[in-house]
Amino acid sequence: MNNTRKRSSTLAFALAAFAMAGTAAADSFETTTLSTQVPTDPNGSITVRKCSICPLRLVRLDATSTFRIGDSEVSREQFLRFIATGGERYLNVSYDGRTGLIKRLRVPGRLAARPERGAR
């Protein structure tokens, strides 16, 4: 029984480590749209600092970066237009800790509903 528990614990630990292996390099940074300038260049970069004593880190956009407003994925242009319309908004920057590539930029909010065709 004791060996069975040890094996179960070892297996559970191995499975947890395996599950985390794919996400271990993912990092994110919480900031605001007033304190961080979102790059207009599709290959632009942002300098982040995870804490007040942490070193600065340059992270950059690439073709695989995604943009979200609330739960909606939007184009980079839609994202930039949206953040330009309001004051300060929370901004979450998710990036790959190994490569420094931005995976996702996200702000809370909702896209304005488009008027139906034919509506006046």
With respect to residue 100, please indicate whether it lies within any of the assigned structural domains.
Answer: yes
With respect to residue 116, please indicate whether it lies within any of the assigned structural domains.
Answer: no
Q: How far apart are CA 115 and CA 47, in angstroms?
A: 38
Domain count, the chain: 1
Q: How many other C-beta atoms are found inside a 10 Å radius of the C-beta of residue 41?
A: 9
With respect to residue 37, please indicate whether it lies within any of the assigned structural domains.
Answer: yes
Overall pTM surpassing 0.75 (yes/no): no
With respect to residue 72, please indicate whether it lies within any of the assigned structural domains.
Answer: yes
User: Can you spell out the DSSP letters for 42-53?
Assistant: TT-EEEE-SSTT
Listed as ranges, residues in the chain with pLDDT below 50 are 7-24
Q: How far apart are CA 55 and CA 66, in angstroms?
A: 25
With respect to residue 2, please indicate whether it lies within any of the assigned structural domains.
Answer: no
What per-residue confidence (pLDDT) applies to 52? 82
Smallest CA-to-CA distance from 79 within 100, 119, 106, 53 is with 106
What per-residue confidence (pLDDT) applies to 25? 61
What per-residue confidence (pLDDT) applies to 36? 86
What per-residue confidence (pLDDT) applies to 112? 76
Phi, psi of 92 (to 5 degrees): -105, 125
With respect to residue 11, please indicate whether it lies within any of the assigned structural domains.
Answer: no
What per-residue confidence (pLDDT) applies to 55? 87
